[in-house]
Amino acid sequence: MDFIYIQAPTYKKYTGDDDYELRPDHYRPELIDDTKKKLAENPTDVDHLNGYLPQGGLYIAEELLRRGMSVAILQDTTKKLYPKIDENVSSNTIAIGISTLSGDMLLHALDLAKYIRNKYPDIPIIWGGSHTTAVRDVTLKHELVDYIVWGEGELVLPQLLDAISTGKGLEKIKGIGYKKNGKLFITERSEYNSLDRIFDLPYHLIEDMHNYTRKMIIGGDRWLPMISSRGCPFRCTFCHNTSDVYPMRQLRFHTTENIIHNINKLVDNYDVDGIGFEDELTAYNDKRLVEICHALKEVKGDL
């Protein structure tokens, strides 16, 4: 049973009326130069990816691999994703997932879903990500959406894929949305995944990891992002944490062993010299932060 996870691209097409912001402090110089060249050659369509590592896809893939499934993680510009989808679809493909934020990313996600629907009408399309979670009913009612996974998806998606492949009922699976007899059904929030283990993230599934490294102002030429915790104890009105995904204001932490394990993987395999934690609130727990800093002394290389 195969599953294809697609991270919708986040680049923005340049039309001549938009401000196309290039950030050489954050992205690799060769990517910036390539973008400038393409702008000069064709100012109406920039085929440039801004390089956000699909961390959610890595956690989902890690869980599916543990259960014996085959997984492909695809992320690129929309035009380049079309042939990559074709290369990965097989007779064993049970479903294709699309993860997206709102805004420009959503428009590209819709383009990709339309391509999949037209070329592979028998393969279900599962939507996930922050946009899907925030507006579940609006997302599910769209004709290019067969199922949704909302909230944290790595324990939910395997159950949904099993139900799709076996024809089992969906009503008892928490954290999903589906259609039946013309009606929409959205189930209650799923349980949180336990973070008390080492997650052996499959970075090898990411095509050309070096394209995701960033040069940061504070030093280092090859930074990669990482998540060390989930959730937030606060409730800012503008933030998605105000939703029912995290109703208990709960902050959960990955173990220090897990963090060091995956940092060492990045240092060994991709020669990174910096890690950027992309948590909601990395420094909330002083004791834990000090513990991580001490553990970083064990990391190989010059980090």
Distances 27 to 69, 133, 219, 221 between C-alpha atoms, Å: 34, 29, 13, 9
Residue with tokens 């969906």: 170
Same domain (yes/no): 228, 164: no
Whether 190 has a pLDDT exceeding 60, the answer reads yes
What is the pLDDT at residue 13?
Answer: 46
Are 6 and 146 in the same domain?
A: yes
Q: What is the pLDDT of residues 58-110, one digit of tens each?
A: 999 999 999 999 999 998 878 889 999 999 999 999 999 999 988 878 888 99
DSSP for 86-152, written as a single string: HHH--TTEEEEEEE--STHHHHHHHHHHHHHHHH-TTS-EEEESHHHHHTHHHHHTSTT-SEEE-SS
The pLDDT, as a whole number, for residue 199 is 97
pLDDT at 48: 42
Q: Are residues 217 and 167 in the same domain?
A: no
What whole-number distance in Å separates Cα of residue 179 and Cα of residue 278?
34
**Tens of pLDDT along 205-258?**
998 888 788 877 777 788 899 999 998 888 787 776 656 666 667 789 999 999
Whole-number percent of the chain with pLDDT over 70: 83
| Statement to judge: residues 6 and 144 lie in one domain | yes
What does the pLDDT look like over 14-69, one tens digit per residue?
333 344 343 444 444 555 555 555 555 544 444 444 457 899 999 999 999 999 99
- Same domain (yes/no): 154, 218: no
The CATH number that applies at residue 76 is: 3.40.50.2300
265 falls within a domain: yes
For residue 41, the model assigns a pLDDT of 54
Span 148-166, pLDDT tens digits: 999 999 999 999 999 999 9
- pLDDT for the residue 36: 56
pTM: 0.86
Does residue 247 fall inside a structural domain?
yes
Give the domain range for residue 155. Answer: 2-10+52-186
6 and 151 both lie in a single domain: yes
Domain count of the fold of the chain:
2
